[in-house]
Amino acid sequence: MTLADVIVAATLVLPFSTNLDGGFRKAMGNVSAWAQKIYALPEFRKVMGNVQMCAKALKPVCLPDPAKEEKKKAAAAKAAAPKVEAAKVEKKKDNVESLAPSPFNVFDFKTTFINHADKKGAAVDLWYKELDWAGWSFWHFHYEKYGTEGQLLHVTNNLLTGFLSRAEHTTKYTFGRMGVFGEEPNLEIMGVWLVRGLEIPDGLAKEHAQFEYYKTRKLDPRDNKDDDALVRAYFGAVVDTKVEGRTAQTLKWHM
């Protein structure tokens, strides 16, 4: 045994006993046989001990990453901690939802009014009597035409129909009478509405895509004779009669 044998054999002790398994050693039979002779020598065993070559390579063991371990601990602690419910964010109420309850039942009154024989007279008188004036208000609507709008009746009718269709979501707190008035090529879209509250509901002012094109005026039919006449004229109108000096070409209910 030479010094070279000692150095090389000692260097291979760890690989042979941990990683260079039987299958690997078959490919280097001469080296394996030589090493076994060296490891069997009393002089070598006296210093290095009994070297046992591995049958199977040991699987590597990865030491945990301290940073990852800390993250795991933090995540586990967070999961174990009692859950605190996030504060519920209340949806902001619109100007109709925030109103105090009203004793006036607009749904029932619509049915009464539509079936009344005298819509210009007794029906309106009954309306004024039953209405909760602190919780409802009358408004006049007038569409502001643009360009060539208002020249053709069928086109103007479509504008009116589209406006009312987009306002259907407000029927639970509105009641209106709208129409196309005048003569071609100078037609106007106008009407009078009863709405919940003392201002225009958000359902129209903020949620209706076409409402910005309407001029609005609050009416006071109890104390103003002209406003009272407007309410009666619109809600009692029939086609071919005049309202505000214009002939009613088309009339529609919003209810």
Query: What are the beta bridge partners of residue 183?
Result: 186
Q: Which domain holds residue 124?
A: 106-254
- For the entire predicted model, the pTM comes to 0.65
DSSP single-letter state for residue 231: H
Q: Per the domain annotation, does 134 fall within a domain?
A: yes
Compute the chain's Rg from CA coordinates.
46
Q: Which two tokens stand for residue 164?
A: 């009312």
Q: Per the domain annotation, does 23 fall within a domain?
A: yes
Q: Per the domain annotation, does 93 fall within a domain?
A: no
Name the residue with tokens 């065993």.
Answer: 45
| Spans of the chain, pLDDT less than 70 | 59-64, 81-91
d(CA 234, CA 248): 10
| Structural domains of the chain, count | 2
Strands 214-219 and 136-143, sheet pairing? antiparallel
Specify the pLDDT at position 56: 72
Q: Which CATH number fits the domain that encloses residue 115?
A: 3.30.70.1010
Specify the pLDDT at position 30: 85
Q: Per the domain annotation, does 60 fall within a domain?
A: no
Q: Write out 139-202 in H/E/C secondary structure.
A: EEEEECCCCCCCCCHHHHHHHHHHHHHHCHHHHHHEEEEEEEEEECCEEEEEEEEEEECCCCCH
For residues 22 and 110, membership in a common domain is answered with no
